[in-house]
Structures are given as C-alpha cells and as structure tokens.
C-alpha cells in the first residue's frame, strides 16, 4: 500500500491540476499504516505538494493539507527542519489558516526534539514568521505560535534567540496590532517568566513585564481586568510571587481594592483582584496574607452581601479556596459570628440561587468541610459551621441532590463525602430517617458521573474508623459490599423457570 501511495505521489508531481489523483492519494493514505510510511520515508518527495499549496484552489489546498499532515508524521523532525525550511517559511505566511496550522504543528514537533530545535533557532526568518503568527486573526494559529515560542524559550539558547536579537523588536511590533494581540504577547511573556527565575529575568529586562504591570495598575478598568488574570498566573510560581512583592505590585493591588468603593466601575476588575489574593493566600500562608492585607478578607465578606451574582460567586469561590487547607480554615474561624452569618448566606444561595451559583456554593462547602487530619477542635469547628448553614443542613443537601440535574446531584454528594469520615456527621446521617437507605440505593444515580460521586461517598464512609460503631455492623457490611461491587454494579434480575413454559 505504501508503494501505491508513493506511485500516486510521483504522479501528482507530474500533473498541473491533479485533483483526482489527490483525492485518490488522500483516500489511500487513510489505510496505510504509519509504520509502512516510515519505512519509505527516504522516498517521500513532498516539495510538489507544498508547491500545490501556492495555487489559489480551495479543494486542492484542503486535500494537500490533509495528505501532508499524514506524510509529515512519517518524517523525523530533524529531517523536516533541515529539508523543508523554505516550505515551512512559506507555510507561515500562507493566506489559508489551515496551512499555517499545519506548518505550526510541524514547528511544534521540531521544538519538542532536542536535535531539531537548533535548526529553528538558527533560522531567524522562520522565528520572525512564528512571532507574526501571534498577530493573526485566527485564535488557533496564534495559540499554536505562542505554544511553540514558549517551548523554544525553555533552553538558554532559545531565551537568547527571543530576547537578545531583533526578534524582541518583532514581538514589540506585533503588540501594536491591537489590544487583543498585545494581551496574547503578555500571555507568552507570563508563560516564559513562569518557567524559572532566569526566564523571568530575561522577560523583565525586555521591558515587557514592566509594561504589563503598568497596565495592571493604570486607569483603564477593562485593561486591569484582563491583566490581573495574567499576573495571577505569574504569582503561581514562587519566584513570580517574590518578584511581585519586591516590585510593590501586591501592595498596589491591595491599595486599588481599598479605593474600589469610590470607583463606580470597580465591578469590572474587583473579582479578578480578589481571586488574585485568594490564590496568593493558598500558595503562601493564608494567615500572613490575610493579616498583611486585611482589605482582602473585608472585601470578600462585603461581596457576599452583594446583589450581583458575579460578585457573590467570586466571594464563594474565594472562601472555598481559602478554606481548602487547615490554616485557611482557622483564619476563617477567627472571624467568629461574621463567618457564621456568611455560611448562612451560602446555605441560602445553595438552595435558592441559579444552578451555576448553587454548584459553586456546594463546591466551596465541600472544600471548607473536608478535614485532611482531624482534631477535637477541628471537628467541633466543622460541626458548628455545618449547623450554621440552615435549620436542617442534611435535608437541605438531600433536597438539592434529588433535583434532576446531574451536576447539582454530584456537587451535593461531594458535600456529603467531605464530611463522611467525621463522627458528628455520621451520627447525623444515621439518625436522619431514610438517609442510610439513600446512600445504599443504586437506582438514584443514572449517569457515570453520579455513580462515581456516590461511590466516593460510600468509600469515604466505609473506610472510616468510626463507621461500624455509629452505623452498626449490618450497615457497615452493606457499605463494604457496595464498595467491593464497584460503582457500576447492576443487581441481576432473578427469573423463575416454570415447567412447560415456552
């Protein structure tokens, strides 16, 4: 079959308008194993196919792209980099986006290969074309170009090629295309900066990180909202957080939150700024961040009082992030009755809000109630929190889990799973009429996600050291049986044979 494909490929190269042959070649290649094509790699002559891309014929271009996608997989990245340099450069400037994506996918293969990547680094024109792909209208083309440049920058040689040559001027030139393209370049810079302190140093020396931070703290509220997402990504690394702290950026963000009450447009950027501090707290120390930047917690509590579902959602998410570790839980506990009132509001929203906000509330509560390690104080705390949610929190979550929305059902089961190994919760469950039967009943769950969520609940209960004592041995054995049968077990329907029946 590979021999037939090669024969057709040779035929294509001899004809001026080989549509029929291209269709036949595309069809044939679908059934040729890649291993066979690799054996014939030395015979593959792809130049004529690349030449056909230059003709303004839509079907011909589509067929050539499809065929090249297949054939190029049979060639080693180093071969592509050395022998198809000119074709790759032309591909990146082709008016058809599918050709650009094909070319960039090959660039992606080359930059992943330690032997082949040098060929790219030594090809200044190709690198320039990749940079200019960031400025294209097609998002897939731009994203693929960003990914390739990000990968190139993982080596010292790559960093030097990007930041110590004319390529930096090309990057700055592309940024001027429009706001969207400028943010794409910032996205690339943040990706590169996140790799190591050395990478960050290259990016700061270029002036592009400083430019991003200047826009973050500037007067344009929409620009702030976009820039804070990228700065939050940078803060996900230790060296990124150190840099932001040294440059006074974290203090500036805090001051902007302080002044937000006087800004009628603060709703555009406040959610992002609060998320920034939520992520910062959980990556460093919740206690230190909340003590140093008290406006952060103040604003979170304030946002839960808002009439705007967006603000409530961000506040709830942030509480969930903050309460995902023990130190964060203790910070929240120190706010006393104020946090209990906030829990009451979350309980209300979990019952009455839109489906999307209900799920966010339930996810936050799962995070708050889960205890990786138990002490008497922590158990008293989670029990107190649980009772603050509503008059009968267990029934509240059962009611939510019975609604005909799989996502809500799973989110409610996650709350039960979070508290399942805590003795006070096990007593509540056991004493709640019908709850044990509800846990054992497989007929309630109809989709895979729900069956998996129920199984996680059963597993958390069955593996608890206190469950046999609280639920009783018969129920404990039923949980162990459910566990051993797996999440998708279906009880066989027994049939009785009747003598003489047809």
Provide DSSP, 136-159.
Answer: SS-HHHHHHHHHHHHHHTTSHHHH
- In 274-307, which positions are buried (b, 16+ CB within 10 angstroms) versus exposed (e)? bbbbbbbbbbebbeebbeebebbbebbbbbbeee
Contact 117, 158 (CB under 8 A): yes
Nearest to 70 by CA among 6, 162, 161: 6
Question: What separation in angstroms does the CA of 165 have from each of 56, 159, 161?
Answer: 35, 10, 6
Question: What CATH number has the domain bearing residue 361?
Answer: 1.25.10
Q: Is residue 274 part of a domain?
A: yes
In tens, the pLDDT along 361-386 reads 999 999 999 998 999 999 999 999 99
Whether this prediction's pTM lies above 0.95 is answered by no
Contact 363, 369 (CB under 8 A): no
Using CA of residue 425, residue 426, residue 429, residue 431, what is the dihedral sign?
negative
- The pair of structure tokens assigned to 437 is 């039967």
Chain centroid offset of residue 191 CA: 14
Chain centroid offset of residue 360 CA: 16
Contact 349, 358 (CB under 8 A): yes
Using CA of residue 168, residue 173, residue 174, residue 180, what is the dihedral sign?
positive
Q: Is residue 261 part of a domain?
A: yes
- Close Cβ partners of 266 (under 8 Å, ≥ 6 residues apart): 221, 260
Sole residue written with tokens 């995070």: 367
Q: Is residue 228 part of a domain?
A: no
- In 26-52, which positions are buried (b, 16+ CB within 10 angstroms) versus exposed (e)? bebbeebeeeebeebeeebebeebbeb
End-to-end CA distance of the chain: 54
Q: Is residue 2 part of a domain?
A: no
Q: Is residue 349 part of a domain?
A: yes
Q: Is residue 448 part of a domain?
A: no
Q: Is residue 272 part of a domain?
A: yes
What is the total count of domains within the chain?
Answer: 1
Q: How far apart are CA 12 and CA 348, in angstroms?
A: 69
> Which range of residues forms the domain containing residue 370?
254-390
Sole residue written with tokens 């998708």: 488
Q: Is residue 267 part of a domain?
A: yes
- The pair of structure tokens assigned to 174 is 């592309």
Per-residue pLDDT of the chain (502 residues; tens, 9 = 90+): 556 656 655 655 555 657 787 888 778 777 777 777 777 666 667 777 788 777 777 888 888 888 888 888 888 899 888 888 888 888 998 888 999 999 999 998 898 888 888 888 888 899 999 999 999 899 999 999 999 999 999 888 889 999 988 899 999 999 999 999 999 999 999 999 999 999 999 999 999 999 999 999 888 899 999 999 999 999 999 999 999 999 999 999 999 999 988 989 989 999 999 999 999 998 988 999 999 999 999 999 999 989 899 999 999 999 999 999 999 999 999 999 999 999 999 999 999 999 999 999 999 999 999 998 999 999 999 999 999 999 999 999 999 988 888 999 999 999 999 999 999 999 999 999 999 999 998 888 888 999 999 999 999 999 999 999 999 999 999 999 999 999 988 877 665 555 555 4
């Amino acid at each position: 079959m590979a021999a037939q494909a090669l024969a057709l490929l040779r035929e294509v190269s001899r004809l001026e308008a080989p549509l029929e042959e291209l269709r036949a070649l595309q069809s044939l290649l679908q059934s040729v194993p890649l291993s066979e094509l690799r054996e014939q790699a030395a015979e593959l002559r792809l130049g004529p196919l690349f030449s056909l891309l230059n003709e303004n014929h839509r079907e011909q271009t589509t067929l050539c792209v499809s065929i090249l996608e297949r054939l190029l997989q049979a060639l080693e990245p180093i071969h592509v980099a050395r022998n198809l340099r000119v074709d790759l450069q032309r591909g990146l400037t082709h008016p058809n986006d599918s050709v650009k994506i094909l070319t960039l996918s090959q660039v992606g293969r080359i930059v992943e290969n330690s032997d082949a990547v040098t060929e790219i680094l030594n090809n200044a024109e190709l690198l320039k074309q990749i940079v200019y792909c960031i400025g294209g209208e097609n998002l897939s083309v731009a994203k693929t170009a960003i990914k390739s440049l990000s990968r190139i920058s993982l080596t010292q040689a790559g960093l030097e090629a990007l930041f110590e040559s004319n390529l930096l001027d090309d990057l700055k030139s592309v940024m001027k295309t429009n706001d969207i393209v400028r943010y794409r370049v910032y996205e690339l810079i943040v990706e590169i900066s996140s790799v190591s302190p050395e990478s960050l140093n290259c990016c700061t020396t270029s002036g592009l990180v400083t430019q991003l931070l200047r826009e973050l703290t500037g007067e344009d509220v929409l620009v702030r909202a976009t820039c804070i997402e990228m700065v939050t990504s940078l803060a996900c690394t230790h060296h990124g957080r150190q840099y932001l702290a040294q440059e006074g950026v974290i203090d500036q963000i805090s001051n902007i939150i302080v002044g937000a009450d006087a800004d009628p447009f603060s709703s555009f950027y406040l959610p992002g700024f609060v998320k920034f501090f939520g992520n910062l707290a959980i990556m460093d120390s919740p206690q230190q961040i909340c003590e140093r930047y008290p406006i952060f917690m103040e604003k979170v509590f304030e946002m839960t009082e808002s009439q705007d579902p967006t603000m409530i959602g961000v506040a709830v998410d942030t509480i969930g992030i903050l309460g995902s570790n023990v130190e964060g839980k203790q910070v929240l506990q120190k706010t006393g009755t104020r946090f209990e009132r906030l829990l009451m509001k979350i309980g209300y929203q979990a019952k009455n809000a839109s489906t999307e906000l209900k799920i966010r509330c339930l996810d936050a509560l799962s995070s708050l109630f889960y205890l990786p390690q138990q002490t008497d104080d922590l158990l008293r705390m989670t029990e107190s929190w649980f009772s603050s949610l509503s008059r009968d929190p267990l029934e509240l979550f059962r009611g939510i889990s019975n609604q005909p929305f799989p996502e809500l059902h799973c989110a409610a089961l996650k709350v039960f799973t979070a508290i399942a190994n805590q003795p006070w919760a096990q007593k509540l469950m056991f004493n709640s009429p019908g709850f044990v039967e509800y846990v054992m009943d497989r007929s309630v769950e109809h989709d895979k996600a729900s069956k998996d969520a129920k199984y996680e609940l059963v597993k958390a209960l069955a593996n608890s050291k206190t469950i046999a004592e609280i639920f009783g041995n018969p129920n404990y054995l039923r949980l162990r049986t459910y566990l051993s049968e797996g999440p998708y077990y279906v009880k066989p329907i027994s049939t009785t044979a009747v003598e003489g029946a047809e």
